[in-house]
Every structure is written in structure tokens, then in C-alpha cells.
Chain A
Amino acid sequence: MIEVRNVYKTFYVPHRVEALVDVSLDVAAGEVVVVIGPSGSGKSTLLRCLNHLETANKGHILIDGIDILDPKTNINKIRAEVGMVFQSFNLFPHKTVLDNITLAQMVVRKRKKEEATSKAMALLKKVGIDDKANVFPDQLSGGQQQRVAIARALAMDPKVMLFDEPTSALDPEMIGEVLDVMKALAKEGMTMVVVTHEMGFAREVADRVIFMDAGRIVEVGPPEHFFTNPTHDRTKLFLSQIL
């Protein structure tokens, strides 16, 4: 589903920062990959490269067999197939919850209003906040907002979902409700790439855990092996600091 081949990404603001160095990764359909690592390790950059919010400098990124770094690729078409959930939700504050979810369906997928609305209501029910369809995002709690953001991404019927630290901006008591939605999604067989600090989630849901440091993938493995018996010293140090 996702193929990342020798990808490099360097930022020049304000100093030269090598965010990704020779990163390669494959994500199969239906797989849940959790990316962990210290801040500044390049895990968010990797995720953002996957739907071209950042442009990788070198290498190839293939989504469903299409190279998104090729200038001839219609990136809007790819993005519609790749759902993204942000740390800061990024709901549209001038639109109601329902409009947040229907807008892109109508504008990008060209669905009729009724079709988009029924789809949105079904998704809101799925994430457990169908009673808030007509309120504005700022009237919701953080956890509710993030669940709306997930529903908004799912409304496009994506083939892959990317989660960029979806629970990092939430109050502790709201993390659970968002993780529950993500777990349910994983169980349904959605292909997911999740950047998170929630080790419990990684252990329970991930098919594979990737540990990144200084722009490189340091260690990859199934969660059982990863958390109990890591091979690299850097991984051991990181885990000892957070667990």
C-alpha cells in the first residue's frame, strides 16, 4: 500500500536539519504501523511526506503504486485516498461539525448533499458524537474534536489513515475515547500509520513498531519483541526513559 524508498528530507530553516536520512519502509494493506521516537527524530516529517504535506528531497514514495514525488502525479487525487489526523485537530472553526465532514465529500468527491450528510451522520454515530452534528468545533472538548477530525478523514473513504500524534494535545481523561476509535478502526482492517507516544496503544494494536532517531529508522519489529527485547542501545535508552 505504501512504499518508501531511500527518502531524504532536509530543512534549511533556520539551520540545516536532516529530518529524514535514507528512510525506507513498506506498509501492507490492512497493516497498522506505529512510529515512535524522541521529538525531532523525523517521525512527523515522515508521516507528512507520505501525503506530500512535505516534499521529500530524494527517493521515492509510492502510494498504491503511484509515485507521489513525480511532478506529473495529481497529488490532490492521492490525498483524497489518504486520510490525515493532526495533533491540533485542525477542524474548520467557521463550519459546524456536520459541515466539516460534508464539505470535502461534496467539493472533492462530488457527492450530493444528502449522500454526504447521511455518510457524515453514520460516521459521527460511529465515533459516538452524532448528537453534536450541528454545533461548532469550539463548543466541543478536545477529545470530541479529534473524533470529528477522524470522522472527517474517514468520510473520504481513504485507503490509508495517517495519525500525527492524535492524542498529544488532549487532556489525559480524553485520550481513551480517541484511542478507542482508532482501535476499532484498526480492527476493521484499515491501513494505518500512527505517530504516537501512547505505548499502550502501540503494544495492543500495532502489527509493527518503528523506532526513529535523528532522521533514521533505528529499529523495526513486532510489538512483543520491540518492547520486551529491543536490540539497539538507542531503543533501550528511549524505552527506559518513557516506560
Chain B
Amino acid sequence: MQASGIDRNRSKLNRYSWMGVYLLCLLGIMLALYLATIQIDYVWRWNILPKYFYNQTQITITAKSEGTVASISTEKDAAVIILKTTDGETEKYKVPGTDVWVAEGDTIYPGDTLGAYKEWRAGLLTQGLYLTLKVSLYSIIFGIIIGMIGGVARISTNPAAKWAAMTYVELIRGSPLLVQIFIWYFVLATLINELLKKYSIPEISAVWYGIAALACFTGAYVTEIVRAGIQSIHRGQIEAARSLGMTGFQALRHIILPQAMRRILPPLAGQFISLIKDSSLLGIIAVRELTKATREGITASLQPYEFWFTCALLYLVLTFTLSMFVQYLERRMATQ
């Protein structure tokens, strides 16, 4: 907070020394944690983490049929192996790089390795982060759509729309998200997938039921935020719009919603930050998002401390980016 005239004047030295106290506290906590882990013989191995983000995998190219290697030539950055099969046909294999495991004239059986190359692949944590991002993004988009419709329905004079919106909001807000995810996955997903199977339509994967659960959950809160935003706009605005002959929908679209958006944004940002964090619950329905990926990484590496700190930091990166983006939007709207 900016120093105001309310408090007595304080010297610069006073201010700097309290900054120092803050930094010391921060360092003290970190040091205490480190010393505690030394006491119980925990060995920190931060160096194992990078491969969980990005690693090199060897990919082998195998023959599909039986035959002999007719020729090996190089083409740009790849080796080309021509295989003459026992049926008298020729097959062409491309091996990026130079790592060819066979020679001309070799007899090859199906499944034999012809060559190999290395490729950079996203590691466990990157995949988890990507899935968390994807799930959050879809849930935010669907949440906004549900919330907009719900918010408008909530203030509608039509009893069906109004009561439906109220029931939806109360049901969703009144039960734990964890239970809702279970209902989506173990009740609705089973039902829907069984029905789909009956009409031989491909099943829907767990991720989408997770997204549905999160979107419905967020939608209820967005509904209330949108309702509050619309109701915060002065009554005179809707009266002015309607007195010019606009329909209720036209007034909402051109006059009320653009103004409400500005007020809705800050609470909406808070809601979406919550949503990103809540997506960590999807691990329980076998969606390998960031938290689930972290747990798997720990199982593989036995280094829980590094993984959990990294996991928390990655969530922070996501939420902080979102928060910055919304602040940018707010500023842009304010200068409009």
C-alpha cells in the first residue's frame, strides 16, 4: 500500500530493515527445510528432473516381411534400405541418421531391427502439464459458455429458465467436486459409454468426462458471477436501452454485457485459477494430468521432494500466467 498521511512518517532505513527481515525469514525457512532433510539422510537429486521434462528415446525400425537386403543408400539425412521379399516384391525403409544395423545381402525375418534413430520426446511432467493445460482450457471455455447462459437464465423472468439455473447452481455448489467427478466417471460415463456401445459409436475417453465435471462445476460459479455482474449494472442502463425500443436480448448484448464484462473479469480470474488447481483431482479417474504424472514420477525415481516442489511450481506458472493475462485484459478494457 502506498504510504499515506494516515500513519506517521517512517524513515527509509526503517523500511529497508523490514525488507531485510522478510528476506531473512524466507531464507530461514528454506534453510530449515534443507537441514531437516539432511537429518533424515534425504539426498537431493535435482539433476534427475530434466529427463522427466524432455528426453531422448531410441526408436527402432523393424522389417515387416521376410527377405534379403537388396541395397543400402543414403538420401539426404537418412539411410534407405531396400528389402527384396521372398514374394518377389520390394519394400523401402527409411532410417533417419546413419545407424543401420544390417548389411547388403543379409537375410531378414519379420520383426528384425533394420536400424535405429534417436528422437527427443516430451517427458512425463511435460505430458502431464500439457494435459492439465488442455483440460483447464477446455473447462474454462465450456465453463464460460455454461456460465453465460446460466447467468442470463438466472435473472430471466421465465420460471423454467430461472428455476433450472437456480437448481443447477445449488446442486453443483452444494456437493464436493470429488463426488461430482466420481458421479461423472462411474455413473454417467458408464451409462453413456454403454449406450454408445449399443449403437456402435466409439466410446468417450475419461479425459472428456473429467472436462465435463470441471466445466459443470465451474459453470455454476460463473453463473453466479455473471448474474452478480449483470445486476451490478445500474438499472438506468437497461431502462435507457429498452426505452429506445431495444428488445431485452439486444439491450443485454449491446449495453449490459459489455459493461458487466469489465466487472466480471476479476472474480472470473479467481474462479479459473481455482479451476486449474482443481484439475489436479482428475488423477483419480485415471487422467494423467500434472499431479498424477508427478506421483508416477515419484514412484519411478523415489525422489518425492523434488517432484512435489516442481509440481507446485508448475501450477504456479500456469495460474500466474492466467492472472497476468486477465490483468492485461482489465487494463485494456479500462483504457477503451
Q: What is A's interface to B at a CB cutoff of 8 Å? A: 51, 53, 76-77, 79-84, 86, 88, 90-94, 103-104, 107-109, 149, 152-153, 156
Contact, CB under 8 Å: B245 / A104: yes
Contact with A along B150-174 (1 / 0, CB 8 A): 0000000000000000000000000
Stretch at the interface among B121-129, B235-243, B267-275: B235-243
Contact, CB under 8 Å: B259 / A93: yes
6 contacts between A and B (CB under 8 A): A53-B242, A79-B244, A84-B239, A90-B240, A92-B237, A92-B240
Q: Does B133 contact A (CB under 8 A)?
A: no
Tally of chain B residues near chain A (CB < 8 A): 19
Contact with A along B251-292 (1 / 0, CB 8 A): 000110011001000000000000000000000000000000
Measured CA separation A78–B244 after assembly (Å): 9
Which of A77, A90, A94 meets B245, CB within 8 Å?
A77
Chain B residue nearest to A103 (CB atoms) is B254
Say how far A154's CB is from chain B's closest CB, in angstroms. Answer: 11
Contact, CB under 8 Å: A53 / B254: no
Number of A-B residue pairs at CB separation under 8 A: 60
Say how far A111's CB is from chain B's closest CB, in angstroms. Answer: 13
Which of B240, B245, B250, B262 meets A86, CB within 8 Å?
B240
Residues in B whose Cβ lies below 8 Å from that of A108 = 244-246, 250
Contact, CB under 8 Å: A79 / B255: no
- Given A88-B236, A90-B237, A94-B336, decide whether A153 and B255 contact each other with a Cβ distance below 8 A: no
Interface centre among A76, A82, A156 (most CB of B within 10 A): A76
Say how far A223's CB is from chain B's closest CB, in angstroms. Answer: 27
Contact, CB under 8 Å: A86 / B239: yes
Contact, CB under 8 Å: A104 / B244: yes
Contact, CB under 8 Å: B258 / A94: yes
- Given A77-B245, A104-B245, decide whether A53 and B239 contact each other with a Cβ distance below 8 A: yes
Contact, CB under 8 Å: A80 / B239: no
- Given A90-B236, A108-B250, decide whether A152 and B255 contact each other with a Cβ distance below 8 A: no
Contact with A along B213-244 (1 / 0, CB 8 A): 00000000000000000000010110111111
Residues in A whose Cβ lies below 8 Å from that of B242 = 53, 76, 79
Say how far A108's CB is from chain B's closest CB, in angstroms. Answer: 4
- Given A94-B258, A107-B250, A108-B250, decide whether A156 and B239 contact each other with a Cβ distance below 8 A: no
- Given A86-B236, A86-B239, A86-B240, decide whether A92 and B255 contact each other with a Cβ distance below 8 A: yes
Measured CA separation A51–B239 after assembly (Å): 10
Residues in A whose Cβ lies below 8 Å from that of B234 = 90
Contact, CB under 8 Å: B246 / A76: yes
Besides A79-B244, A90-B239, A156-B245, 11 more A-B contacts (Cβ < 8 Å) are A53-B242, A77-B245, A79-B242, A79-B243, A82-B243, A90-B236, A92-B237, A92-B259, A93-B259, A94-B259, A107-B246
Measured CA separation A152–B245 after assembly (Å): 12
Say how far B213's CB is from chain A's closest CB, in angstroms. Answer: 35
Measured CA separation A90–B255 after assembly (Å): 11
Residues in A whose Cβ lies below 8 Å from that of B240 = 84, 86, 90-92, 149
Measured CA separation A94–B233 after assembly (Å): 12
Contact, CB under 8 Å: B243 / A107: no
Residues in A whose Cβ lies below 8 Å from that of B336 = 94
Say how far A180's CB is from chain B's closest CB, in angstroms. Answer: 23
Chain B residue nearest to A109 (CB atoms) is B245
- Given A92-B255, A93-B259, A94-B258, decide whether A51 and B250 contact each other with a Cβ distance below 8 A: no
Q: Does B247 contact A (CB under 8 A)?
A: yes
Residues in A whose Cβ lies below 8 Å from that of B250 = 107-108
Residues in B whose Cβ lies below 8 Å from that of A77 = 245
Say how far A139's CB is from chain B's closest CB, in angstroms. Answer: 13
Measured CA separation A169–B173 after assembly (Å): 43
Measured CA separation A147–B200 after assembly (Å): 67
Contact, CB under 8 Å: A79 / B245: yes
Residues in A whose Cβ lies below 8 Å from that of B255 = 92
Measured CA separation A53–B236 after assembly (Å): 11
Contact, CB under 8 Å: B246 / A104: yes
- Given A94-B336, A107-B254, decide whether A84 and B243 contact each other with a Cβ distance below 8 A: yes
Measured CA separation A228–B170 after assembly (Å): 64
Say how far B257's CB is from chain A's closest CB, in angstroms. Answer: 10
